[in-house]
Amino acid sequence: MEAFKIIYTVLGGLGIFFYGMKNMSEGLQSVAGDVVKSAINTITKNRVTAILVGTAVTIIVQSSSVTTVMVVGFVNAGLMNLTQAIGVILGANIGTTITGWIISIKIGKYGLLLIGMGIFPLLFGKTNKSRQIGRILFSVGMIFFGLDIMSNAFKPLRTMPEFLEMISYFSAQNYMSYFACIIVGCVLTVVVQSSSAMLGITMAMATSGVIEFHTAAALVLGENIGTTITALLASVGANITAKRAARAHAIFNALGVLIVFSFFPYYIEFIDWVVPGDANLRSAVGEFENIAVHIATGHTVFNVTATVIFIPLLGILANIVTKITPDHGIKEQHHLVMLSDPSTLVPATALAQADLEMAKMKDIMSRLYLLADELFITGSKKSNADIVMKAKDYESITDNIQKEVTVFTVKVMESPLSERESIHARGILKEVDELESIADYIEKLICYSERTPISKLLKGEAKTDFTNLYKDVKDFYDTTIDEVNKSNIDLSVTLRKSEQLRLSAENMRAKHLERISSGDFDALTALTYSDMIVALRKIRSHTQNVAQAYS
């Protein structure tokens, strides 16, 4: 009965801890989403910068797993290369050590206080930012409270003969015991899918006096290996570079643990020397009051030292994973991959991924326009049939991207977003829809050449009028897209240009009616020409809507 009580109490405390971690992470993401996005935008080929970005993002989202999964997604989408990805992952290993320091504070002492401080702004805050700050305070309180519950639940184990006998093998100070603890830490982290949760359990057991420092330190080393499974799972079905990034993470952590394992007793002595106070000193109530800081220090020393050592070896590590994950000569196309549920990703980074996918869509649009240029402006050696077939292929691709981005963004919007992120997400939905409509009308414009030969359709003054309007509409599209990409759109100027184009199209239709009445064009040719003008008007209209997407 005592064992059952311990189990359900630990599970309850773990549930509260998990809930607190999840909500704290979401609250931090909401408050600091712009910081995350700015950090991502600063990623360059400089490995030190990539490491700093990985550290900063992981500190903000409070999860190395979230960061590494995000990296796999970005590599898969083509947002970063392999060397950059490895640098960010190394930084994530440093950033995750902050979690250990947060939970090394006297657990339980401030839990209820923070819950009380956070609940009022969370429920009654007038602004989103104040509510999110309240949410963060409330969540940190939940973390401390959950850890306190687990710590109290573990205390009876100190005097339970069955448990002491079982754990005696793992608590022995020899390499077999150290290895067994590393394996246990790795396996449990794989099962729980959270190194932060396992670190919390380890600290709760250690502070309650159930395990000593060397056992806890070995468990933490195993947790560093186990946490790599998240990125490995995320890379399933991804492209070759994403697989390489995930495997680089696993190799880096495994090698780091192997190196520390080779001189583990000296590693323990070094941490004891760095941190004042005996880690295994029991208080009057049987607890190890100093051990939490020792564990947090050991976790930080391991990850920082391993990263510093590997900085000059990033190129070698990239070469190793490239050799063990060959591409077999297949040139892969980057594409947006929905890593499990997009709502579990960092909103700022998920939206950046959607932006990148839209950039690919705009590239397809440029190719569509080039086909139209060949048909109506510059001329081409290709047959009309070849141009029409290629245009239909491009239009089909834009349809697929539009569906993919829309589903992805809608799922991202299910997560808590800041006001700016909400505007960004709605803008993505509107922009991708308008771009797909523009692609439809460019394709229709090209396909009209199948109905009536171009030479018969465009001649004399009619050709001049159409060519001028086509160029003006295309210039309007190019200018608008460029301004939207640079976020410097002047809506009043855009609307004025759009209205001028609309009036030009109306005048063209009126002039063409005069040509028809004079017998210069037959009925079918006149209808096709009119439809082409309508298509240009629609392109103008949807381009205007793109400009208004983020307003």
Same domain for 313 and 462? no
pLDDT, tens only, 104-113: 766 556 778 8
Same domain for 353 and 224? no
Note down the domain range covering 250.
Answer: 2-324
User: Picking from 23-27, 116-120, 225-229, 431-435, which range would have the lowest pLDDT averaged per residue?
Assistant: 23-27
Q: How many CB atoms lie within 10 A of CB 100?
A: 24
Among 280, 296, 324, residue at a domain's last position: 324
Rounded average pLDDT over 467-496: 88
With bands split at pLDDT 50, 70 and 90, how would you rate the model's confidence at 335?
Answer: very low
Same domain for 130 and 229? yes
- Return the higher-pLDDT residue of 114 and 64: 114
For the CA atoms of the chain, what is the radius of gyration?
30
Same domain for 348 and 430? yes
Same domain for 281 and 370? no
Whether pLDDT at 331 is above 60? no
Whether pLDDT at 334 is above 60? no
Residue 215 within any structural domain of the chain: yes
With bands split at pLDDT 50, 70 and 90, how would you rate the model's confidence at 332?
Answer: very low
pLDDT, tens only, 185-219: 888 888 777 777 788 888 888 888 888 888 889 99
Rounded average pLDDT over 430-459: 85
Same domain for 319 and 371? no
Nearest to 543 by CA among 369, 287, 394, 374: 369
Note the pLDDT of residue 83. 79
Note the pLDDT of residue 77. 61
Residue indicated by tokens 């006149």? 526
Nearest to 419 by CA among 137, 131, 136, 135: 131
d(CA 446, CA 342): 37
Same domain for 134 and 264? yes
Same domain for 411 and 505? yes
Q: How far is CA 83 from the centre of its chain?
A: 17
Note the pLDDT of residue 337. 46
- Return the higher-pLDDT residue of 477 and 353: 477
With bands split at pLDDT 50, 70 and 90, how would you rate the model's confidence at 33?
Answer: low
CATH number for 358: 1.20.58.220
Same domain for 417 and 519? yes
Among 324, 355, 390, residue at a domain's last position: 324
- Return the higher-pLDDT residue of 332 and 81: 81
Residue 336 within any structural domain of the chain: no
Residue 51 within any structural domain of the chain: yes
- Return the higher-pLDDT residue of 448 and 539: 539
pLDDT, tens only, 167-181: 666 677 788 888 988
pLDDT, tens only, 73-103: 677 666 677 778 888 888 888 888 887 787 7
d(CA 515, CA 463): 12
With bands split at pLDDT 50, 70 and 90, how would you rate the model's confidence at 477?
Answer: very high
Residue 334 within any structural domain of the chain: no
With bands split at pLDDT 50, 70 and 90, how would you rate the model's confidence at 252?
Answer: confident
Residue 347 within any structural domain of the chain: yes
- When the pLDDT of each residue in the chain is averaged and rounded to a whole number, the result is 80
- Return the higher-pLDDT residue of 470 and 31: 470
Note the pLDDT of residue 339. 39
Contact partners, residue 203, CB within 8 Å, separation at least 6: 100, 103, 104, 107, 147, 216, 291, 292, 295
Rounded average pLDDT over 238-262: 84
Among 324, 357, 391, residue at a domain's last position: 324
Whether pLDDT at 425 is above 60? yes
pLDDT, tens only, 364-401: 999 999 988 888 887 766 777 888 888 888 988 898 88
Contact status, residue 138 vs residue 122, Cβ threshold 8 Å: yes
Whether pLDDT at 430 is above 90? yes
SS (H, E, C) 207-244: HCCCCCHHHHHHHHHHHHHHCCHHHHHHCCCCCHHHHH
**288 bridge partner residues:** 282
- Return the higher-pLDDT residue of 128 and 265: 265
Same domain for 362 and 504? yes
Same domain for 250 and 366? no
Could you give the number of structural domains in the chain?
A: 2
With bands split at pLDDT 50, 70 and 90, how would you rate the model's confidence at 340?
Answer: very low
Residue 299 within any structural domain of the chain: yes
Residue 64 within any structural domain of the chain: yes
Same domain for 277 and 129? yes
- Return the higher-pLDDT residue of 317 and 266: 266
Q: Which of 28-37, 194-203, 210-219, 504-513 has the highest mean pLDDT?
A: 210-219
Note the pLDDT of residue 1. 47
Note the pLDDT of residue 37. 59
| 3-state DSSP assignment of residue 288 | strand
Whole-model pTM: value is 0.65
Residue 426 within any structural domain of the chain: yes
Q: Is the dihedral of CA 236, 238, 239, 242 positive or negative?
A: negative
Rounded average pLDDT over 491-497: 88
Whether pLDDT at 3 is above 80? no
Rounded average pLDDT over 318-337: 66
With bands split at pLDDT 50, 70 and 90, how would you rate the model's confidence at 338?
Answer: very low
